[in-house]
Structure 1
């Protein structure tokens, strides 16, 4: 199956990835491998939407693993690589979402509370593809009053639609579909279409944190 293969972006044979996944290979079941990888990515890398890269090498799992945080696409790439590395078919899935937890700093820079593209993961287990979002780490969920999303391959685990008060938290607006490898040009073009002023301002810098 093509969704189990190594790619330049999903480089699960790199030492930076293997140090995380090698201890998981002896787990008894695929379901436990899925659960452990998901928790590792969800809580091991803090969600940080305030850094953007336009450089292809920054969309590589081994590069992402060297950092302590990442945005949704970063964390999805990392999760796909780790799952493939322990023998679980997986693929990147992209969408557009409305982020009602977006703080003023993010809205000011993007000019919108819509995030595009948003990254999540499709996981193949027991004959079915399931969606999972490892985006928000537990500490961030506690801060914003939402339950952390759990995932073990038994059911979809998407971003929380409501917070603890019943108010709208996240909404999925558009589905861009799934990808065998990281669609670098598609990601940049989607970003450019949704945030043209920001794209023009920062594209030549390669990387930006705000």
Structure 2
């Protein structure tokens, strides 16, 4: 079991984990309410990020300000990495040690336009969070909000604070959904430069479309494709 001193790095603020910002503090307070138990607090924060911030893969901006937790609260929509950063920041602000983790995933449930921009179905640097609860690390993925899951007929990911909650391999019709291809590990802070280098190298068309404000409507695309 880790000591309190070992956990300090996972409770600290940073430029990205700006949980002292009034927006993030309000977000934490509203989500947590009167809950005192760390597991209960973590679960409430998970659902606040999952469903309170709409998943939008076209908000793929490679600028630092778009990965800051307080910016994600203000925007109300983001792709998986800013959402993971927000959950980690909110957890730290609620006294729960947290780290961000990343994996390369093969996503079989996408839209035709998004696949063209990504260059296939392999998505690099999918974000998740590791939370230290009851003496061990538990993984959670707050990316896909409930409404988006319903549009794609995907089972929404639930989180109980005790078991890992990563992407389901199958959708509601038992068709293959997502495969974890390469786990990049967990980080004390967000490795911005490393991610940006890979995004520009492997997903340049998606980056260019976002920077040119050529957004798509992901949920509408899903309905049309189906």
Offset at residue 209 of structure 1 (A): 3.2
| 1:95 lines up with 2:98 in the alignment | no
The match for 1:148 among 146, 156, 159 is: 156
Contact 1:9–1:61 (CA under 8 A) maintained in structure 2: yes
Of stretches 184-193 and 113-122 in structure 1, the one that deviates more from structure 2 is 184-193
Residue 27 of structure 2 aligns with which residue?
20
Structure 1 residues 208, 80: closer, same or farther in 2, change over 3 A? farther
Aligned length: 208
Structure 1 residues 208, 182: closer, same or farther in 2, change over 3 A? farther
* Gaps in structure 2 of 5+ consecutive residues: 1-6, 217-226
TM-score computed with the length of structure 1 as normaliser: 0.92
Contact 1:52–1:207 (CA under 8 A) maintained in structure 2: no
Residue 125 of structure 1 aligns with which residue?
133
Residue 10 of structure 1 aligns with which residue?
17
Partner Cα separation in structure 2 for residue 46 and residue 197 of structure 1: 22
Offset at residue 198 of structure 1 (A): 5.1
Partner Cα separation in structure 1 for residue 107 and residue 173 of structure 2: 16
Residue 76 of structure 1 aligns with which residue?
84
RMSD over aligned CA atoms reads 1.8
Partner Cα separation in structure 1 for residue 191 and residue 167 of structure 2: 22
Secondary structure in structure 1 of the residue aligned to 2:51: helix
Offset at residue 94 of structure 1 (A): 0.7
Structure 1 residues 208, 16: closer, same or farther in 2, change over 3 A? farther
Structure 1 residues 198, 69: closer, same or farther in 2, change over 3 A? closer
* Gaps in structure 1 of 5+ consecutive residues: none
| 1:163 lines up with 2:171 in the alignment | yes
TM-score computed with the length of structure 2 as normaliser: 0.86
Partner Cα separation in structure 1 for residue 77 and residue 100 of structure 2: 18
Contact 1:95–1:172 (CA under 8 A) maintained in structure 2: yes
Give deviations 1:77-130, integer Å, cap 9, x for gaps. 110011001000011101101111110110111111111111010111111111
Contact 1:53–1:208 (CA under 8 A) maintained in structure 2: no
Residue 191 of structure 2 aligns with which residue?
183
Offset at residue 25 of structure 1 (A): 6.2
Secondary structure in structure 2 of the residue aligned to 1:43: helix
